[in-house]
Amino acid sequence: MQQSVWVAFLVSKDIVSFVTEIDIDSDRIIGIQVNLPNVQTFIILSIYLPATTQPHQLYQYNVELLHEICSVYKDMGSIILMGDFNTKIQGPRYKFNPTKEKTQFFTHTEGEQSTRSVSWDRARKFGYINDYSFALSQHLWTSEFPRHEINKLIIEDYYDKIVSAIKQAEQETLPYSIFKPYQKPYWNKSLTHLRDMMRLKRIEWLNNCNCHDLKCDAFNHYKQAKKAFRDAQRSAIDEYESAIAQKIENDIDVDQKSVWIILIKRKQKPHTCTALKKDGTLFTDSNDLMNIWYDHFQNVFSQSVYSEPDRETYISDRVSTIRETNRTLNEKDDLQFSYSDVINICSHLKNNKACGHDRIAYEHIKYGGKLLLKHLHHCST
């Protein structure tokens, strides 16, 4: 029997050897694959979608997840959907348009489209990485390496072509993670505008100098935009908290059901236990952990450590050696990257790091394929 919080399968012992569990990261959708002898494969999904008392964004998220699962397994066999969809035909949650290439079903029409970013976890899980690598290679196939006189404009145009190919392959093959408004119910259009302004100022700062000089106008404009966004975000959170408190106070004697729904949602989940080992002893108490870290950081930059003459001499000599090495390399202009160096560097890039102003993440490079790495190697040399 496969089960989750909301749904479960009870499989007969006569066919259990022909049943394979489908790994789905959801507590409302589970699935099994049935491979009976001399019979087509069946993909059976059991579903329990959120009720109308739940946020409509949560309902929409689960429907989109269901649509993605069906698109992955549709070529492996017949898909059977069963369960409770918590919707009515021609009701507010129903939308069906048979003229579209991709059928949209049970989608909620409320709310606006949110800013999306690539869901690399789902891409790795459902095997979209190979599709992305193949699509990117197709888009880069017609891109030629610059072979004539190289200047700044040619390099920038070459780089723009690479970025354009990456973004096009991303849109064609990779799944997106959609912002879930129910996780930030305080969000409003003003915050979206301030956030976009902050990002714009950050891009201008990065393109201008990327320094941290307080006298730099680009850096100051970015910091001011960031402060304005953070202040507005804190204010919106306070207003939302006040509105919730006022609603509870007004409804406590009238509609206790809605009050308990709010209280249950806001109930904090238990924190996981944190442990730290010091001098062979394992500490789990929060006060002990804070004292350990307090003692550690108090001694990290203590004056006694850096006032020793031998240590100061060592640091000075080491810095001088590094500077001299870099100066020599720059004079000889022999700093070259081999193709194997590029492969080695890109294969060890870390996941889930912030994108730059071009919205290219490490994963775009890491999973881009050999042709992309050849273009990057040519661009660096």
Quick: pLDDT tens for 192-217.
Answer: 899 889 988 888 888 888 788 888 88
Q: Chain centroid to CA 315: how far?
A: 40
Give the chain's largest Cα–Cα span.
Answer: 82
How many of the other CB atoms lie within 10 Å of CB of 261? 13
- pLDDT category of residue 112 using cuts at 50, 70 and 90: very low
Q: Which of 358, 352, 367 is nearest to 131 (CA)?
A: 367
Task: Return the DSSP state at 150.
Answer: -
CB 118 within 8 A of CB 177: yes
Q: Compute, in degrees rounded to 10, the torsion defined by CA atoms 346, 352, 353, 355.
A: 90
Q: Which of 196, 190, 202 is nearest to 236 (CA)?
A: 190
Q: Which burial class, exposed, middle or buried, applies to 140 when counting CB atoms under 10 A from its CB (0-12, 13-18, 19+)?
A: buried
> What is the torsional sign of CA 148, 364, 60, 185?
negative
Structure tokens at 281: 């002893």
The set of residues, in sequence order, having a beta carbon less than 8 Å from that of 320 and lying 6+ positions away, is: none
Q: Does 115 score more than 60 pLDDT?
A: no
> Can you tell me the distance from the alpha carbon of 302 to that of 315, in angstroms, rounded to the nearest whole number?
16
Average pLDDT over every residue of 89-113:
44
Q: Does 271 score more than 80 pLDDT?
A: no
pLDDT score at 302: 62
Q: Does 367 score more than 90 pLDDT?
A: yes
Average pLDDT over every residue of 300-321:
73
- pLDDT category of residue 359 using cuts at 50, 70 and 90: confident
The set of residues, in sequence order, having a beta carbon less than 8 Å from that of 86 and lying 6+ positions away, is: 48, 49, 50, 51, 52, 59, 93
The set of residues, in sequence order, having a beta carbon less than 8 Å from that of 267 and lying 6+ positions away, is: none
Least-confidence region, from 117-126, 177-186, 187-196, 314-323: 177-186
pLDDT score at 301: 63
CB 164 within 8 A of CB 135: no
Average pLDDT over every residue of 180-201:
85
- pTM for this structure? 0.51
CB 58 within 8 A of CB 182: yes
- pLDDT category of residue 96 using cuts at 50, 70 and 90: very low
> Can you tell me the distance from the alpha carbon of 277 to that of 93, in angstroms, rounded to the nearest whole number?
53
Q: Which burial class, exposed, middle or buried, applies to 208 when counting CB atoms under 10 A from its CB (0-12, 13-18, 19+)?
A: middle
How would you classify the pairing of strands 42-48 and 78-84? parallel
